[in-house]
């Protein structure tokens, strides 16, 4: 029969992947909507980078860099099958996921515009690992701790979010382990689920743990782009 187009991919979630984890209510329409939003805003970021790297003394090098970047644009976003209903993952190898989501959400807030009807939670996944506690702990220590120390030199309130989809894991074990690491490595951080300054998200899908730093958790309405887009 003639059906609606569904985004399918042979690509799978694997440790090391980065991109965007998006919950939704109509998967097919939300996938198209998410890709449109990501492409629109990434175009602007890429053009800004071209302007920043332009050099009159190196016109040939600048043109070669731009040509290389343009060739990558066709594959900058790839839809990955999560095997979970109404949960989309879009891989990104070109754009910094956190920078792009922050740019999108700040623009929506500043202009009071509607960008999404079908997408809901829109998490930037900046790191990932196998879902066992040893791998999660190792990746968190190697990747997150240096970044958090640099980004937040002053006391901050944080929360840890752990969610599971198609996986059997111990939520409390992961949450306690992350809080213990932060207490030891960054003692000026305060664990708090009330009006936290930022949140760290761990979403386990099958055998992969997707990690996000949600640095504007309250301001961005828990990173729900649909709620953020609601006009008052």
Residue 93 in any domain: the answer is: yes
Query: Which long-range contacts does 214-221 make (Cβ < 8 Å, 24+ apart)?
Result: 214/123, 214/124, 214/161, 215/98, 215/102, 215/151, 216/102, 216/105, 217/159, 219/109, 220/105, 220/109
Kindly state whether residues 109 and 135 are assigned to the same domain: no
pLDDT computed for residue 52 by the predictor = 54
Least confident of 18-32, 35-49, 61-75, 184-198: 61-75
Domain identity same for 160 and 174: yes
Q: Are residues 120 and 133 in the same domain?
A: no
Taking 60 as the threshold, does the pLDDT of residue 67 lie above it?
no
- Is the same domain home to 61 and 159? no
Residues shown for the chain: 232
- Give a yes or no: residue 103 inside a domain: yes
pLDDT at 2 over 50: no
Residue that finishes a domain, picked among 99, 125, 151: 125
* 85 and 190 together in one domain: no
| pLDDT higher than threshold 60 for residue 73 | no
- Region 116-130: mean pLDDT is 97
Please state, in angstroms and rounded to a whole number, the distance separating the CA atoms of residues 37 and 42.
8
| Number of domains present in the structure of the chain | 2
Average of pLDDT values for 129-141? 97
| Last residue in a domain, options 66, 100, 125 | 125
Tens-place pLDDT, residues 167-211: 666 889 999 999 999 999 999 999 998 889 999 999 999 899 999
User: Region 85-105: what's the mean pLDDT?
Assistant: 93
Supply the CATH number for residue 171's domain.
Answer: 3.30.2300.10
Q: Looking at the predicted structure, is the pLDDT value of residue 56 above 60?
A: no
Do 85 and 14 lie in a common domain?
A: yes
Whether residue 120 is found in the same domain as residue 104: yes
Say if residue 80 is in the same domain as residue 165: no
Give domain status of residue 121, yes or no. Answer: yes
Q: What is the mean pLDDT of the chain?
A: 87
Structural domain range at position 78: 9-125
For 18, phi then psi, to 5°, come to -130, 155
pTM of the prediction?
Answer: 0.85
Calculate mean pLDDT across residues 131-156.
Answer: 96
Per-residue confidence (pLDDT) for residue 37, from 0 to 100: 97
Domain edge (last residue) among 76, 103, 125: 125
**Residue 73 falls inside a structural domain:** yes
* pLDDT of 54 above 80: no
80 belongs to a structural domain? yes
Q: Does residue 43 have a pLDDT over 60?
A: yes
């Amino acid at each position: 029969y003639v059906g609606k187009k569904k985004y399918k991919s042979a690509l799978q979630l694997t440790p090391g992947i980065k991109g965007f984890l998006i919950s939704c209510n109509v998967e097919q329409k939300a996938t198209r909507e998410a890709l449109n939003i990501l492409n629109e805003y990434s175009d602007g970021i890429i053009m800004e980078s071209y302007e920043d790297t332009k050099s009159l003394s190196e016109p040939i090098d600048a043109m070669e860099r731009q040509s290389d970047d343009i060739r990558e644009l066709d594959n900058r976003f790839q839809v990955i099958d999560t095997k979970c209903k109404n949960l989309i993952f879009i891989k990104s190898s070109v754009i910094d996921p956190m920078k792009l989501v922050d740019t999108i959400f700040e623009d929506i807030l500043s202009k009071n515009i509607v960008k999404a009807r079908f997408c809901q939670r829109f998490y930037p996944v900046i790191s990932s690992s196998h879902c066992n506690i040893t791998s999660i702990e190792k990746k968190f220590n190697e990747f997150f701790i240096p970044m958090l120390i640099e980004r937040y030199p002053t006391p901050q309130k944080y929360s840890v979010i752990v969610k599971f989809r198609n996986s059997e894991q111990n939520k409390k074990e992961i949450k306690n382990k992350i809080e213990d690491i932060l207490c030891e490595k960054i003692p000026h951080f305060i664990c708090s689920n009330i009006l936290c300054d930022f949140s760290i998200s761990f979403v386990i899908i099958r055998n992969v743990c997707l990690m996000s730093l949600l640095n504007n958790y309250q301001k961005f309405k828990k990173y729900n782009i649909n709620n953020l887009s609601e006009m008052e």
